Structures are given as C-alpha cells and as structure tokens.
Amino acid sequence: MSIFRLERPFILFLKVLFYPIAKIRNMYYSIGFSCRNLILGKNVSISGSRNIKIGNRVIIGNQNWLDAIGDGQIIIGDDVSFSQNVHIAACKLVTIKDGCLIGSDVLITDHNHSFGRSLNVCVPKLRPLVVKGPTILGENIWVGDNVKILTGVSLGNNVVVAANSVVISSFPSDVIIGGIPARIIKEIT
C-alpha cells in the first residue's frame, strides 16, 4: 500500500480535529477586537493589539504581521482581505479603509529607519524611526503582490496598485498605479 493512500485520511483527520480549534481562535480574536466574522490564518503575529482596530468580515491570511509600535495605531475597515506574508507596521497611523484587497508579500508602513553619517556608529535597530506622515489607503483598493507602501502615502478610493510596485507618494482616486517608484499608469473612468 502506498504511503500517499495512508496520508490522505490522516490529513483529513487532522483537518476535522483542528477545525473547531481554529473556529474558537477566530471567535476569541473577534471578541477581543470587537468585530464580527474575523478569519485569521496560521502564524499571524499581532503586536500592540490595544492600538489595532479591525472591522467586520476581515480575512487575515497566513503568516501576516500587524505591528502597532508604541502608541502607533492600525485601523482596518470592513470587508478587507489580506493574502499571506503581509506586514503592516505603524508608529503613528496606518489606515486601510473598507473593501480593500491586499496581495501576498506586501509591506504597508508609516515609518522608516533614520540614516546619516552620525548614525553609522549604531546598529540599525537602535536608530530612531522617522514618520513622514500617516499612511492611508482609501476604499476599494486592490494592492498586488510584493508591493511596498511607505510612509506618508495617501491613496484615494478605487485605486489598483500593480504588483512589485514601491509607492512613495500619494495618488488620487480612480487610478491604476505601478512601477518603482509608482506612477499613474491609467485613469479609471
């Protein structure tokens, strides 16, 4: 008998066994964040949860990291979906409004590490963080895979961010943006 024939029933058994545990975990976090229908994937890391607000019907995929540093705030609206390996970090404010879809391997942050000759003597993790401004994503934004959205960026509603883009400046509503650095590719009419 093949090992693969034995493996399938075992995997099914594990899924049936751990499904209730996942449901209980999702309910626990839904109560903690005062939201409904929160779905968390595996290996989700949440730091600074007292400063994180999550809306209803939010899906947070596998291996995501929400990091509210110090008094930083992360606000996530309703009907937002994160794929896997998404890192959201806030020293002041990161807002993701309703109806956004975030692809895999995305970074959304409101700060950078400072740099300069005087800071070359200290290790990077000890350097002060620099916040240019809050990072705000409007409603109904689609962020492709491997996108970096950096400090001080504000995106209007109905924006599509092409995969592999680095967004360092703000953009109005109803546009498709992409590139390094991101620029307007097309206006949506």
What is the tens place of the pLDDT at every residue in 55-91? 999 999 999 999 999 999 999 999 999 999 999 999 9
Q: Report the C-alpha gap between 109 and 130 in whole angstroms.
A: 11
**Residue with the larger pLDDT of the pair 112 and 122:** 112
Q: Tell me the pLDDT band of 9, cut-offs 50, 70 and 90.
A: confident
Q: Where are the domains of the chain?
A: 33-187
Q: How confident is the prediction for the chain on average, in pLDDT?
A: 87
Whether the predicted pLDDT of 127 surpasses 90: no
88, 117, 126, 173 from 138: Cα distances, Å: 16, 37, 33, 8
Distance of CA 141 to the CA centre of its chain: 12
Looking at the DSSP bridge assignments, the partners of residue 142 are 101, 160
* pLDDT cut 90: percent of the chain above it: 65
Write the class of the CATH domain 33-187: mainly beta
Please report the pLDDT score of residue 1 as a whole number.
47
In the three-class reduction of DSSP (H, G, I as helix; E, B as strand; rest coil), residue 60 is classed as: strand
Query: Which range has highest mean pLDDT (3-7, 106-110, 116-120)?
Result: 106-110
With a cut of 60, say whether residue 166 has pLDDT above it: yes
